[in-house]
Structure 1
């Protein structure tokens, strides 16, 4: 694409569009007039709109091309097929954990440290719309305190790349970016055209985001007291943990979730999220999450995948502020995958309460743990989303499903063929 950005010279920042208002819109209002697959990453709402076609992961997934630019190679067999290319994997937590953070506060602490050390002039991150806990408000933080004030997860669509317009108008050349996989793909795709001296990319794992109104509806279905939930996570013990204002923790088995009341998956999750193949945020400098860390959550262990030389530099900033432990991995994720693939072909009704309790007990007792749990979740997301694309957006498969997906799922090819009467990997023709 020959489109070029105008010279990056300081200008008086224009008033940003009303991101706070957008965060409160329904999905129908927010994505009106957009392509069918849109995660509202923010690339096409500011001056970078001409680059939408070249950067959008739902127009053309360039992940493997970008991997070769970042690492000089693509993913090797083994864990890289699921976790993305990485140099090192650590299980750690901030010491002490940051109060009020969703986990130990590593992501916001890292952004604040970059500013404190003068390595960046600003950090693009996501706060909350005033008066809400979860409605995402993308911001350009210029001080460590501004970054720290954004702690806590906002599991909603957030057009954070819109803030690049503010970066350019302000003449900033050294920034850090905190974002999800689809956002990072778009950023990496046009990175060389942004005129930045230095860019640090801190990736957060992401799956099944939603709009803020749909998140509120989700909590109303799941929780006994949705208005007092301060954060929630889908945990490694196959339960949703919802922490309330009074400190109590409500636990809901995955199998007890009433998807029908939500209108099915499409009733709450945008089609773009069901067509994503980068839960692990493989194009970041490092990814920080919790899925591969051990329980219990009150110990606040996290895991990080250090991917690039710049990612190693980022972890070195954190090193004196964290304690580490060895990763754990237990169970066998492959045992349950044939039944999961069968369920994708023929979804089952929610079983009666006694059966759900038995299923939940077995999952907690013998299900995968630690890194094996992370592998299990990623494989299920890849399978589910591949099937969603084939059923709903089949003509897009060759453009938006990266090759590593088929390699990662190859062990289930026979089961898939038996259930769906077609090959897992598309033919070359």
Structure 2
């Protein structure tokens, strides 16, 4: 076992990156190296406390602008300028090729190696993990075998376990402190300020664990980073929000919000909620109090076209595996191996995995995509039901859809396509035609065309104008006062 480098700082404490540099090593030569690296790229100051982020209402708080890499924000931000349309070019840089548009799986879910769309679980689940601990296990093995020297991951605030706290982990225990999903926007890229301040960073390798918008920004500035190597372990991300938005959801949607431990929107069309005592509550999507959940989803997530995390080396999520019963902590997840680096990462834990096999696929997504989009958009115009569906009826509908609806990879493509159509409507309505044309990737436009294009469902919906509130959800993103 290789001991992790003790020269890494344990936690990111923005915005005082220089404090991390002093803890990492206060000798004069170390400071000179830090200054030399800083002078090698455009001089830029992070957003100051109380200041607005460049993407304003559409900022996902990825953390890039909390570092001097804000100098590259116009080319790196997923929500400025060409935005997410840059993903297609970055795929070639990261994976060595672009996605195969004639392959139905790659066209929607992104580049993958041969037999790269997999499902599996850990034989012995990681204690306290939300699922079986695939992400935690890969990270620990990469660290303990010396493949990387540090892992950027998201732990919890000591005073609120649901409030995200990005850290630089250099021990197994620190990685395990980041178990479980933190359902809020997290500024993980702020950790770059800590990492670059260590002595001799060019001899260090880093694993970054994050979601699509963070990974796009990271890949965009990767050529400027002073590390020997950067690996990316991505997770699926669908409809995130601010911590305040999560609190609103927790209070409105769960029967015992103070004892909530984990939750996930699952493939059986129910939200699975795990409580501290190990009990589960399963609420059909149709039974959620939609009228009490306005503004829960961040404006950036309504503008996102990268739910599958296309630029990661290895992506772990839930969407491509049919629901097999049982708790999340025993259930397989979908694993997408996007390139040879991702294959190497997965190989570290294959011997401790069960049911590792190609993802299955069944059913047809088309009708479910259309009906979900129409119901969702009707609700935005005040045409939805006044009250949630009764729980008994919601369970009947969810059971029928689970039995006859899309499964496996087809379910994953249903989820992605519905959200891309919804988000296309959003950016056309709130960004305007010119900005939307610049931002929306070609693969998302092909999804729009698949459902009739401007002459079909999307065009009909756009013809309805703006929803009654006439403004994008969510407050302007500002850096918090310290």
Q: Report Cα offsets for 1:29-72 as digits up to 9, x if no partner.
A: 98855522100000001221211111101112210110121233
Q: 1:124 to 1:414 in 2, by over 3 A?
A: closer
3-state SS in 2 of match to 1:135: strand
Alignment-derived partner of residue 16 in structure 1: 13
Aligned pairs for 1:306-317 (under 5 A) are: 306-317=337-348
3-state SS in 2 of match to 1:337: helix
User: C-alpha displacement at 1:287, in angstroms?
Assistant: 0.2
Cα pair 2:169 2:175 within 8 Å, conserved: yes
Alignment-derived partner of residue 23 in structure 1: none
Alignment-derived partner of residue 148 in structure 1: 176
Q: Distance in 2 between matches of 1:95 and 1:85?
A: 28
Alignment-derived partner of residue 324 in structure 1: 355
Counterpart selection for 1:342 from 353, 374, 377 = 374
User: C-alpha displacement at 1:259, in angstroms?
Assistant: 1.5
3-state SS in 2 of match to 1:152: coil
Counterpart selection for 2:58 from 25, 37, 41 = 37
Alignment-derived partner of residue 50 in structure 1: 71
Cα pair 2:268 2:399 within 8 Å, conserved: no
Cα pair 2:9 2:168 within 8 Å, conserved: no
User: C-alpha displacement at 1:195, in angstroms?
Assistant: 2.3
Q: Distance in 1 between matches of 2:292 and 2:389?
A: 16
Q: Distance in 2 between matches of 1:30 and 1:292?
A: 41
* 1:370 aligns to 2:398 (yes or no): no
Q: 1:38 to 1:144 in 2, by over 3 A?
A: same
Cα pair 1:184 1:283 within 8 Å, conserved: yes
Q: 1:15 to 1:387 in 2, by over 3 A?
A: closer
**Aligned pairs, how many?**
403
Counterpart selection for 2:241 from 210, 231, 237 = 210
User: C-alpha displacement at 1:330, in angstroms?
Assistant: 2.5
Q: Distance in 1 between matches of 2:237 and 2:78?
A: 14
Cα pair 1:126 1:136 within 8 Å, conserved: yes
Q: 1:378 to 1:12 in 2, by over 3 A?
A: closer
Alignment-derived partner of residue 33 in structure 2: none
Q: Distance in 2 between matches of 1:217 and 1:359?
A: 26
**Higher alpha-carbon Rg:** 2
Alignment-derived partner of residue 403 in structure 1: 442
Q: Distance in 2 between matches of 1:399 and 1:100?
A: 43
Q: 1:142 to 1:15 in 2, by over 3 A?
A: closer
Gaps of 5+ in 2: 1-6, 17-48, 464-482
Q: Report Cα offsets for 1:365-393 as digits up to 9, x if no partner.
A: 32222222111111111111111111111
Q: Distance in 2 between matches of 1:30 and 1:214?
A: 20
Alignment-derived partner of residue 286 in structure 1: 314
Aligned pairs for 1:234-313 (under 5 A) are: 234-263=265-294, 267-295=295-323, 296-298=325-327, 299-313=330-344
Alignment-derived partner of residue 81 in structure 1: 107
Q: CA RMSD in A?
A: 2.5
Q: 1:311 to 1:357 in 2, by over 3 A?
A: closer
Q: Distance in 2 between matches of 1:216 and 1:407?
A: 36
Cα pair 2:451 2:457 within 8 Å, conserved: no
Cα pair 1:44 1:51 within 8 Å, conserved: no
Q: Report Cα offsets for 1:67-109 as digits up to 9, x if no partner.
A: 1212333221211111110001221111211111010101111
Q: 1:244 to 1:118 in 2, by over 3 A?
A: same
Cα pair 1:122 1:175 within 8 Å, conserved: yes
Cα pair 2:211 2:309 within 8 Å, conserved: yes
